[in-house]
Amino acid sequence: MVTTYLCHISRLSTSHQVRQNFSFIRRELTALSNCILQAMAASSTTLPPFTSRVNPTTGKLEWVVEDENYDFIQEIARSAYTDMLHDDERNKKYLAGIQKAISSVHSRGQQAHVLDIGTGTGLLAMMAAQCGADTVHACEAFEPIGKAARQIVAKNGFEEKIKVIMKRSTEIICGPDGDIPRRANILPAEVFDTELIGEGAIPTYLHAHKHLLTDDCICVPHAATIYAQVVQSTHVEAFHKLQPVRMTGCDDIIPNESMADCSGAASVYDLQLSQLSPDKFQPITEPLKMFTFNFSKGDFETKGQNEVRTTSLISGKCHCVFMWWELDMDPEGEVKLSTAPVWAHPDGNKAPWRDHWMQAVYFLQKPVETEKGQAINVTLTHDGYSLWFTVNSTTEEGPIERPICQCGAHVVWSRPRIGMLNDSARNIKYIAALKKVINPRSICLSISDGSLLPLIAARLGANKVYSLEPNSLSRRVMQGLLETNQLEQTVSLIPHLAQELPSSIFHSQVDVLIAEPFFISSLLPWHSLYFWYCRSALVPHLSDDAVILPQGALLRAIAVEFDHLWKFHAPIGDLEGFDVRIFDELTQKAIKDSDAKEEPHHLWEYPGRPLTADFNIMEFNFMETIPSVPIEVVGEVPFIGSGTCHGVAIWMDFKLDDKISVTTGLQNVVTEKSDVLDWCRTWKQGVHFLKHNPEIKNGSIQKLKYKASFKPESGNLFFEFEVMER
């Protein structure tokens, strides 16, 4: 029991505040552990499990009592189960593939023995039983889902036909006394992600062929083909590598050589490419068939490589590779399922929407120049879980190693963060605001993670700039930038949190406090209020007339009808004729128990329509100290559009000064004639999903009523939204 609770205690957040505040955490752990041991010695009462986490707004370490199944609940709530099951095309094409496989096996005079790997709700297993399979076994390693699958199978009348095994497929024993009595000759499985093989499809199929399947088996899907398209796109390239920051009247800020030469991270950058405007990229090649995995044969290896020779459609630069895949659900190739973006999809603009499978972007180490009509080689390499691409004019010799970030920036900065740092319009605003307050006597302090503001302030002539960089890897990256730009004498990186600064760390009081504000630990836009708590902790270090930039922030919102995003939370009910309400109860409870009502999403990838104008909810004045009592606001706004109200999008606008502000959310003005929402692409917005989704009608007297509460002690924001008829 002691071990169990100490494990709960040590399951710490990986945020930079925690990692850099280890001594404080160790003291807290020791004290709390002693309390637990004393309590256990004095009483036999069972203690509830708890976890430690850093509050992203206040920066404080908190101890939270959790449900005993906390980890399971988190996994269920954050999975894509519901979105996946709402994928009608997926469900129907799996059914078609299973029907054909069973008919084919029966036509050979054999019994159809089905093994469903990763059964989830039991859907594919029930499809197989309904289609006449002679035996059906299904495995599910995740125990809560496995138990639900057993209940769903029983509720739909298949308890005697389907055996659910709560093991990984690699743990299943085949034989008369094993989990399955014989090898299966039909394998339906859905073990794919955006990258196709990222969930372990290759080792899963290879193990199944070696230990669980007959030589003449049919897999559903039968095969998968990976497609790639080389494109030119300065817009997408801006999410890959730091670019120079143009500074009028002084030297630019430039990336160091290690950044410029770095291949970047090999991790997939998954995007809804269909939402990428056609004017943001130019195809260098047609879509290319790069690699095919025949799952029924299992004749592939853990590692593989294939080169395709093609010609360039235009003269330009190859910046990156767009990737997607297509499934053949049957050996004849009559039933196909494509994850292609709309411009390459066989159904064009009628292509089905899905989020559990999107498209992927793979960046090249450096842009490759090409001329129209020039021959180029595109090479795909894979291991058991990842893909990577190279593009050049010559044939690759030997295996191509998986790219690894050498500069550190691609480890510290997410791709949206790189895009944020490269946003020239945003940088122009910060430069303009800083020009107004920086002078040769300025002592500046920057509070943001991996920010370029300290370098900008130094370029603008500040006497001295300090930058809080508690994260050691981020500090290394920033030090490289300082040295490349010859600013290491002007800018000093401080390895402390604002709340822990020694009293004599600055030679003079700070007269300019600056922030983007951006923090690695922030998940939702308003978590950046952490700057306010830092500013309050820094009062002893600030001069009486210190400039605070940003001066304040506006919390803003808009009611939205989403085309598809609502599917993340919508219950399934009936699925291809099967009752899966048991699964709905499990997932809905998990979402309720583990998550806040607001979720972070890059809303530019999820189209929707405005139902109200954008409106202000709450204002925060960073020039003032944090209030000691809660702030609560109530209000209502009229609806200006018609549709289904799925939720409310929420974001922050940061007021740099009286005339300049930076938004993390909506970028266009919404009127009664607006039908498009233009969202900031480098920040995630918060979305409050309504439990009930009322229909809004033009000309109605319906209004959106809202209530927001800010609790200064915890830094938490709470929202309530309700559609009122009058």
The answer to whether residue 199 is catalytic is yes
- Residues 635, 534: contact at Cβ < 8 Å? no
Residues in the chain with pLDDT values less than 50: 1-45, 80
The answer to whether residue 713 is catalytic is no
Q: What is the DSSP letter of 128?
A: H
> What are the backbone dihedrals phi and psi of residue 361, each rounded to the nearest 5 degrees, phi first?
-115, 130
**From 66, 199, 619, 722, active-site residue:** 199
Q: What is the DSSP letter of 625?
A: P
Which residues share a beta bridge with 360?
Answer: 270, 323
For position 687, what pLDDT does the model report? 96
**From 140, 190, 469, 516, active-site residue:** 190
For position 723, what pLDDT does the model report? 94
Q: What is the DSSP letter of 679?
A: B
Q: Is 378 helix (H, G, I), strand (E, B) or coil?
A: strand
Strands in 85-202 per DSSP E: 113-117, 135-139, 162-165, 184-188
For position 30, what pLDDT does the model report? 40
* Residue with the two structure tokens 């309390």: 35
From the number of C-beta atoms within 10 Å of its C-beta (0-12, 13-18, 19+), residue 68 rates as exposed
From the number of C-beta atoms within 10 Å of its C-beta (0-12, 13-18, 19+), residue 678 rates as middle
Rounded alpha-carbon distances, angstroms, from residue 293 to 28, 64, 326, 674 = 52, 46, 11, 46
For position 595, what pLDDT does the model report? 57
Neighbour-count burial for 570-598, b at 16+ CB within 10 Å, e otherwise: bebeebeebebebbbebbbebbeebeebb
Number of other residues whose CB lies within 10 A of the CB of residue 626: 18
**CA dihedral sign of residues 509, 514, 520, 523:** positive
d(CA 359, CA 240): 17
